[in-house]
Structures are given as C-alpha cells and as structure tokens.
Structure 1
Amino acid sequence: MTWSAYLPGWPLEVSPALWLALTLVVAVLVGEVLVRHLKLPRIVGYIGIGLLLGPGGLALIPQVPATEWRLVVDLALGILLFELGSKVNLRWLKANPWIAATSLLEASATFVVVFWLLKWFDVPAITAAVVATIVIATSPAIVVRTVTESRAQGQVTDRLMLMTALNCSYAVIFHKFAVAAMYGETGASLIHTVMPPLYVLGGSALLAVLFGVTFERLHHHLGHHEETFSFVLFGMIAFATIMAATLKLSPILVLLAAGLITRYRRKRTHTFPPHFGSAGAVLVVLMFIANGLAGDLGGFGYSLLLVLLLITVRAIAKLLAVLALANQSGIGLRQATALGLALIPMSSVPLLLTMDTATAFPAFGSGLGLVLMSCIVILELAGPIVVQMALKITGETPDKKI
C-alpha cells in the first residue's frame, strides 16, 4: 500500500458543512464588532457575511441546495414564531379594538398599493396578488431577535409584536389562496384549487391546538424544572416543525398559532430563556446566515426601478396606515411613527413563501421572484437597524432615547 492511500486527494474535496461552520465563526465575530463598536444589531453581521461569502457575493461558499438548509431555517423560524406567539396577548384586541383595526388597515393598504403598483407594470392580476400577499408580512425573526437583543419593553414594543404576528398570519393564509388561484389559471379543477389551501389551514390549526394542549400538560408537570422544560419544548418545536413539513402543512402557521393559543390560555406570559437556550440560539444565527447565503440581487437586473418602488410604497403604506388610526388606538405621533417604521423588515417568512412559489411556478422564480428576493435582501440588512432605531426613539430600550 502506498503513502497516497493515507493522504487526502488533491484538490481537496471540502464538505459544504466546513464552510458553513467557518462562516458561523466569522459571522458571530463580525456581529460582535458591529454591536460593540458601531452599536448596530448583530443580525446585520450574520446576514451580511452570508450574503458576502455566498453565491450572491464572492461565491466562496458554493450554492447549497435549499433542501439541505431548509430544515435549519424552518426549525429556527419555528422557535422564533413560537416565542413571538407566546408573548402576544390576543385579549388586548378585545380591550382595544382599534389595534385590530390598525392591523387590518396596515395589511390591506400594503396589499392594495403593491397590487396596483405591479398592475401598473403590466403584471398579471393573479401574480400581482401573490406578490402582494407575501409582502404583507413583517419579519418575525428580525423583530423578535432585535427586541430580545435591545431588551425593549413598552407599549410600542408590545404592539409591534402583536401586529407582526397578525400580518404574518395574513400573509401565509392569503398566500395559500393566491397560489391556489394561480393553479386554477393553469387549468386545474375547482376542487383541486380550493381543497389544498383548506387542508393546509385546517390541518395547521389542528396541529397547533394539539401542540398547545400538550405544551400545557408538560408545563404543568415540568414547569418548575426550567432547564429540563426548555429542552423538552425545543424538542416539541422540532417535532411539530418536521411533522408539519411531512404532512405538507405550514410550519409557520403551526408554530405561530401554537404560541398564540398557549399565551391566550394562560392568564400571564411565561418567560423562557431567549430562543429556548443555547441550541436554539445557534440555530437562529445559522438561519440568518442561511438567509444571507440564499440572498439574490438578480432583481436589480430584472428591474431596479420596480425593486426600489416596491420597497418604498410598501413602507409608506405601513407607516400611513398606523398613523391614520394612531389617535383612536391610543398612541401619539412619535410612537405611531416608530411603530410604522418598525413594521418594514422582511426576512425568512417572505423568503420561504417566495421560494415555495418559485418551486411551483418556475417562471415566477425567474421573474418577479428575483424582484422579491432583492427586496428581501435589502430589508433584511436595513430592517434590524430600522427596528432598533424605532425602539430607541420611543424610549423603550434601556439606553432610552437616542
């Protein structure tokens, strides 16, 4: 046997996992530099490094098939969605119906202005509706992570969490029906058009209720063992995410609804370790890196004007909708402005909805999908900074107003 049998071949065949591990180290270090020296959110470093080193940047990390990182994103997003839902008190909507009205107006205004913008660019109505439903969503990942990192507390923070949970739900639900309508235009029968979204919504709701009931039972027996219960909850979230994907349901709806149901059944919120411990925190960082790796600015080549207009009209719609009902809902101009701005970020939820649509309709992925991806990249990078500034303006972070 020759010495070559004991030595690696040349050139070296490096596993993508090695590059991902190296990217994780670099991203965390860059994130620390940003927060310590520039006072910027760590998320910007995580996403920025992924974008810089990935196929959309320097291409030091090769294109990784979505199937290889989708589970990581789904798990991390599931953790953040359940965390968001468990902090949102839906009873507040009964006490102050104007908050519900603000949420509905904000989502409706976003849909309408984006829909008509795309129609102005001669985009078919059904395709325009699909895009308009996707951009309703504010990024729950960016909101939860930024609120946790900045330790923000107060009325604007609570409203931001509530409205993020609501418009994320609107986006996912109406996206299912909009995509079903796209299938209908391809000649699918009515039953094959209507039944899939009904199955997804009904099945997701049922799985969310089962998760919530099981959560309550386990918390009753293990709640006083905080560390043990956090591990069990982490496993439950992983199980629910994988089960939802296996049954072709919506992991986004399942985990968000489970958190909302759990909080609604309890008289007061329960404080868990951020992201349910270290394992969850690592997954969250990997999710933001994966978002950066998946980033694609090809939409600039497709239509730079459309990308910029889409970002602009969406932001204006959200801001003006919140300002319109600020007085009735009980907040001042400064608070409403901060809340409207904080609703701007997009990240994992629109990214996954865009990728799912592109998988089902390749023509969408090579057209408007590129525009959406470019918008998501920009608002992933700028979004955490905007949310951080908005929370500081309201004086709801420990360092008060900037």
Structure 2
Amino acid sequence: MNMLSQGWGALVAWPAVLWLAWWLGERWHARGLPRVSTYVAVGLVGGALGGVASLRVPHEGGALLAQLALALVLFELGCRIHLGWFRRNPWVPALGVLQSLALFAALYRGLAALGVTEPWRALLAAAAVAASPAALLRVANDARAAGQVTERMLHLAAIQSVLAVLLLKLASAYWFLSAEGDWGQALLSSLYAGLLSVALGVALAVVLSALMRGAYPSSAVPTVGYALALVWLTVVADALRLSPLLAALSFGVLLRERLAWVANAQRDFGTLGLTLGVFLFVYVGARTSWSALADGAVWAVAALIVAARLVVPVALNAALAVPSGTTVRKGVLTGVALLPMSAMTLVLLERSAALGLGPAPQALWHASAALLLLELAGPVLTLWALRAAREADGSGRRGASSGGERSALAAGSSPAPAGPREAIRSADDHTARA
C-alpha cells in the first residue's frame, strides 16, 4: 500500500513540478535568465522535497524518457552539422578532437592528483568530456543566435559528445576486462557497440530519406514522422545495449548529407520537443543527490571539472583561432560558450550503471556538484558569449527578428534571419575574411 501511494504521489507531483518549471522558466527568461537554468533549479528543489524521488532510479521509465528527449536534441544537432565545412576547414574537426582528448587527459591527471581511484577515474573523466547539446542548442534557439561562434560551438559540441561516448565505451570495456574478465561485456561496451550505434542511425537515415521525400501540408506532419522514428531508434538501441545518443546524432548527420531533411519541420520538434526538453532539465536537477553535495570530495571534483572545462576549451580555441580562420576574441568566446555539461553526462553515467558497470554509480555520485554547477551557470555564460559575439537577440545583431515556428531541424530554416545553412555559409565567409 505504501509503494502504491508513493507511485500515485509521483504521478501527481511530476506534472505539477514540470508545469511550475515551465511557468518560472518563461517568467525568468523575460528577465534574461536562460530557461534551461530555471528548469534545472526547479528540479533540484523538487528532488530535495521528495516529490519526484521515484524517478531517481536509472532503470525506470524516467531514464528512458530522458534518453528520448536527448535523442531528439542530438538528431536536431546532427541536422545542423555541415561535414562540407569540415572538409573545407579541417582545423575545426582537428580542434574538436584535440580539445576532447586534452580535456580527458587534464581531468584524468587532475582526478589522480585528488586521490581518485582508478576504477572510476577514467569513467568520470570520459563522461565529463561531453558537452551539453540540449543546453547549447536550446540557448542558441531561444536567443535566435546565428554566426561563426554559434556554429563553431555546436559543431565542437557534437565532436565532444561523440568522443565522450567513445572514451566511455573504452573505459567501460577496460573495467569489464580488468575487474571481471568478461570479454562479452567488454565487447558490448567497447567501440564495437559504438560502431553498431552509428550503423543503426545510418540505416534509419537511408530508409527515411527515401520514405519522407516530398511536400507536406503542414510542418507538424514531418515533425511527427521524425519524432516517431526517433522513438523507435531510442527503444531499439536501448534494447540492444547500444548508444541511442550516438545513433540519433548519426541519423541527423546523414539526413543532412543526403539532403533529405524537410525544411518546414518544426523547430525543437514543436510542442513535443519543448515538453520533453522541460522534462529533461527538471530530471537533471531532480537526480542531484543532496547527500553527495555535503561531501567535500565531491566539491573538489566539481572545482577540477569546472576549471578544466573552462581553461582547456578557451586556451585551445584561442591558440588555434587564427589557423582555423577566426579571431582570437571569437575563439575565446567559443571556448566559454562550450562550458555547459550535464544532461548528456548524466544520461551516459546512468546508462552505464544500468548496464552493470560497477564504478558508474560512484562516478555519478562524485560528479553531482559539477553537473549541478555547469547546468545552472553554464547556460548563462553561453548566452553571455553569444551576445558578446553579437550573434544573439539583444546583442545588437543586425536583422534579428522574433519570427516564427519554423525549424532548425533542417539546416536552412531557423527563425533567425540566417538559418543554420546560411549561418554556416556566413561562418565560412567570416573565415575567408579572417
């Protein structure tokens, strides 16, 4: 009876908490605070009050729903990735890879200096490499940002996310081999699983690029088609113990490359995507362990992660700004904009714990304060960086408009005057001039 009453309590509490998060997000957004920071803060308070505690168990429905919400974001991000830009300016992908590996090395060495033991040192360092695509894309969309810093931020975030998944797979495989001698689990947790995830996303993109061509009477129609495809992709990848996040990103990238996206699909997947976005960030806040926040070692790890995620991207983007075709100032702003880390890191560690990776719960415990700080303050600094670059509404960017519900699912149809395709072309023009 007690468990039944707790279940009903969660069913009542979650919609109320989500509505409150949405309402406060809109009110505080008008005062200049990013919506995502408000959502996380409400989830944090809701979790502390115990109203959403039943969704703290990784294997329950909340974790799968969070993966779906993040898969929608990564698909949209994938549809903005311009591989042609990478081919014309190889400094950008090289910078992304170097930045990810340098961040991992700095965190790994720093955690060792803090006395962190090996079973979860590599796991935490790998997970902390991930950017927060959900926060970055939502801040960019809310600010109607377009320009060189915006596009570099999103492209580098995609590279960091891919490298974080691959590094985490390698760390997981190493643990299964060294601790349990389990070759089967090591294989499932290795790069082999990552390659299968990419293959699944690519296969779905090939099928849908053929099935969804043509005109549609409204933007809601293709949006529903893509959303249902991503629901299938998330469930299948989760059941096969693959990475739904890597599969969704691959799905979006290939659709763009095949020119098969639908230009009038709704931005953020319309009402569905916005609702799931509210849930994702409230979930991040609700998953925060207050007992972990009382541990001094957790805050020491948080200080290291925050410092590394600020110093490494800023230093590398500034150092390689001119060779990669931008200014040092814009390189610094790009590094600052990449600070948010939370949703993807949380999902990666929860997923690892659900797959039986022993050190994952301990890694998640020690990452609690960093997750909280970087998802509360990170979007604020991202918005500041975009405004300092004069690429966001309210920053003096010429021609900023308030327009429309048309989507950035397709590269080329953002409510800003320059959609992602035009933004990338603009970025290339800036690169040529620089």
User: TM-score over 0.5 for the alignment?
Assistant: yes
Alignment match, 1:22: 16
Q: Given that residues 198 and 246 in structure 2 are in contact (C-alpha distance below 8 angstroms), is that contact kept between their aligned partners in structure 1? A: yes
Deviation at 1:58, TM superposition (A): 2.8
- SS of 2:213's equivalent in the other structure is helix
Q: 1:187 to 1:23 in 2, by over 3 A?
A: closer
Tell me, in whole angstroms, the C-alpha distance in 1 between the residues paired with 2:223 and 2:85: 27
Aligned partners of 2:149 and 2:334 also within 8 Å: yes
Structure 1 residues 268 and 194: CA distance shift in structure 2, 3 A = closer
Residue of structure 1 equivalent to 2:368:
373
CA–CA distance in 2 between the matches of 1:12 and 1:224?
45
Residues 13, 279 of structure 1: alpha-carbon distance in 2 compared, 3 angstrom cutoff: closer
* Unaligned segments of structure 2, at least 5 residues: 398-434
**Distance between the aligned counterparts of 1:326 and 1:362, measured in 2?**
41
Question: Using the alignment, how far apart are the partners of 2:86 and 2:294 within structure 1?
Answer: 40
Q: Aligned pair 1:31/2:25, yes or no?
A: yes
1:310 paired residue number: 305
- Aligned ranges 1:241-256 → 2 under 5 Å: 241-256=234-249
Structure 2 matches for 1:139-158, cutoff 5 A?
A: 139-158=132-151
Selected match of 1:114 from 107, 112, 118: 107
Aligned residue among 28, 35, 52 for 1:61: 52
Distance 2:164 2:14 in 1: 31
Query: 2:333 and 2:68 mapped to 1: Cα distance?
Result: 30
**Structure 1 counterpart of 2:22, one-letter code:** V
Q: Percent identity?
A: 27
Deviation, structure 1 residue 302: 4.7
Q: How does 1:201-350 map to 2 (within 5 A)?
A: 201-223=194-216, 225-266=218-259, 270=263, 272-297=265-290, 298-303=292-297, 304-350=299-345
| CA distance in 1 between partners of 2:189 and 2:352 (Å) | 14
How many Å apart are 1:257 and its aligned residue?
Answer: 0.8
CA contact (8 A) 1:152 1:391 kept: yes
Q: Which has the larger radius of gyration?
A: 1
Aligned-partner residue type, residue 115 of structure 2:
D
Residues 231-253 of structure 1, C-alpha deviations (whole Å, 9 max, x = no match): 11111111111111111111000
Mean Cα deviation higher: 285-294 or 295-304: 295-304
What is the CA-CA distance between 1:286 and the residue it aligns to? 1.1
On the 8 A contact 2:29/2:35 being kept in 1, the answer is yes
- Residue by residue over 1:340-392, the C-alpha shift from the partner in whole angstroms, topping out at 9 and shown as x without a partner, is 011111122100122234443445524x4312122111111111111111100
Secondary structure in structure 1 of the residue aligned to 2:377: helix
Going from structure 1 to structure 2, the CA distance change for 1:374 and 1:357 (only over 3 Å counts) comes to farther
Could you tell me how far 1:52 is from its partner in structure 2?
0.6
User: Residues 61 and 134 of structure 1: is their aligned pair in 2 closer, same or farther, counting only changes over 3 Å?
Assistant: closer
Separation in 1, partners of 2:372, 2:185: 34
State the Cα distance separating 1:105 from its structure 2 match. 1.8
For 1:268 and 1:349, how far apart are their aligned partners in 2? 24
Task: State which drifts further: 346-355 or 268-277.
Answer: 268-277
Contact 1:358 1:364 in 2 (8 A): yes
For normalisation by structure 2, the TM-score amounts to 0.84
User: How well do the aligned residues superpose, as a CA RMSD in angstroms?
Assistant: 2.2
Which stretch of structure 1 is more off in the superposition, 195-204 or 171-180? 195-204
Q: Using a 3 Å threshold, how does the CA distance of structure 1 residues 177 and 271 change in structure 2: closer, same or farther?
A: farther
Match of 1:80 among 57, 73, 80: 73
Give the counterpart of 1:397 among 392, 395, 405.
392
Query: Conserved in 2, the CA contact under 8 Å of 1:77 and 1:252?
Result: yes
Q: CA deviation at 1:126?
A: 5.3
Match of 1:137 in 2: 130
Distance (whole Å) between structure 2 residues aligned to residue 63 and residue 156 of structure 1 = 40
| TM-score (norm: length of structure 1) | 0.90
Look up the match of 1:8: none
After superposition, the Cα gap between the structure-2 partners of 1:196 and 1:27, relative to the gap in structure 1 and judged at 3 Å, is closer
- Alignment partners' CA distance in 2, 1:155 and 1:269: 24
Shift of 1:165: 0.8
My pick for the range that moved more, 127-136 or 355-364, is 355-364
Equivalent in 164, 169, 173 of residue 162 of structure 2: 169
Deviations 1:280-304 (A, max 9, x none): 2211111111111112251550512
Task: Tell me the distance in 2 between the aligned counterparts of 1:263 and 1:150.
Answer: 23
- TM-superposed CA distance for 1:125, in Å, is 4.1
- Give the structure with the larger helix fraction: 1
Deviation at 1:114, TM superposition (A): 0.5
Q: Does 1:200 align with 2:193?
A: yes
3-state DSSP class of the match of 2:41?
helix
Matched residues in 1 for 2:134 and 2:7: separation? Answer: 34
**Who is 1:90 aligned against?**
83
